[in-house]
Amino acid sequence: MRIWQENTEVGPRPGRMSPLGATFDGAGTNFAVFSEVAERVELCLFDEDGAEERVALKEVDGFVHHIYLPDIGPGQRYGYRVHGPYRPERGERCNHHKLLLDPYAKAIEGDVVWDEALFPYHFDAPGRRNDLDSARYAPKSVVVNPFFDWGSDRPPRTPYHETVIYEAHVKGMTKTHPAIPEAMRGTYAALAHPAMVDYFVTLGVTAVELMPVHQFVDDHVLVQKGLSNYWGYNTIGFFAPHNAYCSSGQRGEQVQEFRSMVKTLHEAGIEVILDVVYNHTAEGNHLGPVLSLRGLDNAAYYRLSDQDPRFYWDTTGTGNSLRMNHPHTLQLIMDSLRYWVTEMHVDGFRFDLAATLARQFHEVDRLSSFFDLVQQDPVISQVKLIAEPWDVGDGGYQVGNFPPLWTEWNGKYRDTVRDFWRGEGGTLGEFASRLTGSSDLYQNDGRRPYASVNFVTAHDGFTLRDLVSYNDKHNEANGEDNRDGENHNRSWNCGAEGPTRDRDILALRSRQQRNLLTTLLLSQGVPMLLHGDELGRSQHGNNNAYCQDNELAWIDWPNVTEASELPEFTRQLIALRRKHPVFRRRRFFKGRAPRDGRTGEKDIAWFTPAGHEMTGTDWETGFARSLMVHLNGKAITEPDARGLRVEDDSFLLLFNAHSQALGFTVPEELDPWWAVEVDTAIPYTEYRPLIKSGSKVEVEARAMLVLRAHQEG
């Protein structure tokens, strides 16, 4: 071990307490790290052979320890050692034998090599402090080059009501794509490859929502089973792009490759939204490793048990929860968000288990400090903010309760649409509410229909194909005896569990997928597709593929021909939505005629299959599984983006979730002629004669029709 020797000319300088992290200025690097509990902090520098130099951070301002080192630049590996109290019973866990990642590291090299030295206790004596040195087994922080040529890059800033989100996994989306060079697959560069960009553009999506790309850790228990944390909800670096998704072997290059990906997607008009995990870290509970925050200042960063600070207060189901009422924890999160917007040019965030972020104490408080800070921040408040509005703590299901600036994953939409199409009774009223933007959840606090991010499937749960192919989960590959994952999936296998050669069942499954996609993409709100659903991707009944970094979870690009009609069907639906503002209104329906006298018709009306307006009794009929809705394009009252009032075609949507075909009578009081735009009973649009109002049209069992008002017969 070598000790850094101070020299008045070329040696360390005091440096600055801000910004936190390692900041290269072209001549040297400023290092700054927060720890209120530390008695002394050492900066550890590693050379190419792994030899370590230690530099004492003697300057401390506001509990920030800092130093400036000339001639230290991009590529330098480093970490911290904290000298201080080790009193777990008081929540203090300092141990200078543990090398710690910088919470503000912009890049991280390596992964955790699981060894006893990483833990605060000995495996054979859990009550005894572990002073084994962890440097050999811990990942290292890396100083990065902050400079990048963004050229003329500009955020697309797609309005919410015009947004179509595509939830994707960097590796799973690209790992088997034959048009992408094999060495590039599974990386940021692969996602920016022309084959992928063209695919997104042709499909019609406007935003790619990436599953976690912050540096994450493969859990010890998974590694022992020969598995890995594929999804990535196990963050250890809130500023660092995950290094395994980088196609280059150069240290720190993941930062520039990520930036290049964003720049390329922006050029195609596609926004980049990050799924972020600020509710917990990979250090887990009291039995977890010491990797970063735990060793820096355990009680400042984590919520500890009031009864016994040795233990963690956990509302995430992962072992710990970040302490959202501590100023430096809040600063860490806000600085991270701001960095990804200003330095990495991302367009928004989806917050995993966002209810935990609202917990200042024990209750979920929608006006907690975090949301106050976001509201007033001039940078973060201007991008898309999407909440997963629940966690596993008491009172954690908070759909509809986030502040007006936020949109939400609407879990009630998912559940209701699934129930309706699998034939559950008594769903008509709620189905109508979800279809029209969930005004019962979002209207009272001044939000718009696009506060609802609608989805039928997401990474967590069945894929679309599996949703119509399995009644039960089949997670045996996860090694937990099928105990993990959701048991109540609201799925229906259409008559056989899993693969089948029965043509009738296969036809029904295809029709159900088209029903669900059509409902999703023509509902008010912001639609979100799960990657590969439009390709018929299956996980063979696994509804919790978080640890399956293999063909089970990747898109099988070479074999997507089985669902060859589904991608085109999806493209046509997205194009229909994009063309007609009646499907993406900026305001809720009123259910009555506009006051400006432009039309005497209601903006929306609901009908029974017999063509009569729905009454209270009709809505409450438990056995009813069919209805019609008229969307009046002439009654759109809000101006478009240019401030001009627009009119649209009117549409009639006919839903039949019954097991038998039904005749629907087109109401006579509506437009006189109607053309078939979509029929989910068939995969391709084909010529159909116009339908006259007052006539009857048959809708196949478990199918829907989309009719557009036509000017002439």
> Does 87 reside within a domain?
yes
pLDDT in tens, 203-213: 999 999 999 99
Say if residue 561's pLDDT is above 70: no
> Does 46 reside within a domain?
yes
Whole-number pLDDT of residue 701: 97
pLDDT in tens, 361-392: 556 665 578 888 999 999 999 999 999 887 76
Whole-number pLDDT of residue 594: 47
Whole-number pLDDT of residue 316: 85
Of 42, 109, 388, 677, the catalytic one is 388
Q: What is the DSSP string of 131-165?
A: ----TTTS-EEE--------TT-------GGG--E
352 is catalytic: yes
Is the separation of the CB atoms in 622 and 553 below 8 Å? no
613 is catalytic: no
Angular region, 435: left φ>0, alpha ψ -120 to 50, beta rest: alpha
Please give the residue that has the higher pLDDT: either 713 or 323: 323
Whole-number pLDDT of residue 141: 98
How far is it, in rounded angstroms, from Cα 76 to Cα 275?
A: 29
Q: Which of 143, 168, 201 is the last residue of a domain?
A: 143
- pLDDT > 90 in the chain, percent: 83
pLDDT in tens, 396-431: 678 888 888 899 999 999 999 999 999 998 899 999
Say if residue 4's pLDDT is above 70: no
Whole-number pLDDT of residue 559: 86
**Alpha carbon distances (Å) from 623 to 84, 248, 600:** 67, 59, 33
> Does 154 reside within a domain?
no
> Does 277 reside within a domain?
no
Per-chain mean pLDDT for the chain: 93
pLDDT in tens, 69-82: 999 999 999 999 99
Question: Rounded mean pLDDT of 323-331?
Answer: 93
> Which value, in Å, is the radius of gyration of the alpha carbons in the chain?
28
Whole-number pLDDT of residue 564: 76
- pLDDT > 70 in the chain, percent: 94
Query: Which pLDDT band holds residue 596 (cuts at 50, 70, 90)?
Result: very low
pLDDT in tens, 42-101: 999 999 999 999 999 999 999 999 999 999 999 999 999 999 999 999 999 999 999 999
Q: Which domain holds residue 46?
A: 21-143
Question: Rounded mean pLDDT of 660-684?
Answer: 95
pLDDT in tens, 133-180: 999 999 999 999 999 999 999 999 999 999 999 999 999 999 999 999
pLDDT in tens, 203-253: 999 999 999 999 999 999 999 999 999 999 999 999 999 999 999 878 889
pLDDT in tens, 429-442: 999 999 999 999 99
> Does 439 reside within a domain?
no
Residue 500 sits at the vertex; the CA angle it makes with 495 and 504, to the nearest 5 degrees, is 55
Whole-number pLDDT of residue 367: 55
> Does 123 reside within a domain?
yes
Q: Which of 110, 143, 176 is the last residue of a domain?
A: 143
Name which of 274, 294, 377 is nearest 330 in CA terms: 377
Whole-number pLDDT of residue 640: 64
pLDDT in tens, 470-487: 999 999 999 999 999 999
Domain count within the chain: 2
How far is it, in rounded angstroms, from Cα 580 to Cα 627?
A: 22
> Does 368 reside within a domain?
no
Is the separation of the CB atoms in 331 and 370 below 8 Å? no
Q: Which of 125, 143, 161 is the last residue of a domain?
A: 143
Whole-number pLDDT of residue 3: 45
> Does 366 reside within a domain?
no
Q: What is the CATH number of the domain that holds 66?
A: 2.60.40.10
3-state class of 684 per DSSP? coil
Q: What is the DSSP string of 285-350?
A: STTS--SSHHHHHHHHHBPBPSS-TTSB--SSSSS--B-TTSHHHHHHHHHHHHHHHHTT---EEE
Say if residue 647's pLDDT is above 90: no
Name residues whose C-beta falls within 8 Å of residue 281's C-beta, 6 or more positions apart in sequence.
234, 235, 236, 291, 292, 293, 320, 322
Q: What is the CATH number of the domain that holds 614?
A: 2.60.40.1180
Whole-number pLDDT of residue 357: 81
Question: Rounded mean pLDDT of 663-678?
Answer: 96
Of 111, 253, 347, 352, the catalytic one is 352
How far is it, in rounded angstroms, from Cα 125 to Cα 647?
A: 74
